[in-house]
């Protein structure tokens, strides 16, 4: 760790605390060379393992860009996309593993996207699940309708 003030490589940890969610460690440091203090936050690097076996760092921006394409022309704002990206990252970090297979990233996107916008969900699912015909769309739409009916009848039962 380099001191941000004098660039010395010798720093001393004064205090370490785990964040509330347990995903990061905040360290208070001191530089013996310039005697200034600073804080660092350490977080495990989340990696995505591609189908080819290559691993790359997880990118929330890459998730948001992919979902943005599915949401083109839909009433979905940038704040919605940012929340979805954060939700996907939180879901993946909650697995407790540093490496996540690429298909799990897609699955983590599908749930929040379905709640955000069903048309965008169908667009994304058609690419992610490699729909090959109109019947694939019909099957997915039938599942969405069945979920709506189940939610509607459950709401009527409790009312």
pLDDT of residue 21: 67
Pairing assessment for the beta strands 99-101 and 47-49 based on DSSP bridges: parallel
pLDDT of residue 83: 94
Q: Report pLDDT digits (tens) over 66-89.
A: 999 999 999 999 999 999 999 999
Q: Report pLDDT digits (tens) over 110-140.
A: 999 999 999 999 999 888 888 888 988 898 8
Strand partners, 42: 25
Question: 149, 60, 74: which is closest to 118 by C-alpha?
Answer: 74
pTM of the model: 0.68
């Amino acid at each position: 760790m380099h001191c941000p003030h004098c660039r010395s490589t010798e720093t001393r940890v004064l205090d370490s605390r785990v964040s509330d969610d347990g995903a990061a460690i905040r360290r208070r440091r001191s530089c013996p060379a310039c005697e200034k203090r600073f804080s660092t936050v350490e977080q495990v690097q989340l990696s995505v393992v591609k189908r080819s076996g290559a691993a790359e760092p997880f990118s929330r921006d890459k998730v948001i860009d992919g979902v943005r394409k599915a949401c083109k022309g839909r009433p979905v704002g940038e704040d919605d996309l940012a929340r979805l990206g954060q939700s996907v990252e939180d879901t993946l970090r909650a697995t407790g593993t540093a490496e996540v297979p690429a298909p799990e990233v897609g699955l983590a996107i599908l749930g929040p996207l379905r709640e955000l916008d069903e048309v965008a969900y169908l667009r994304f699912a058609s690419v992610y699940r490699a729909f090959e015909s109109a019947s694939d769309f019909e099957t997915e739409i039938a599942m969405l309708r069945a979920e709506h009916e189940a939610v509607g009848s459950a709401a009527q039962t409790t009312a």
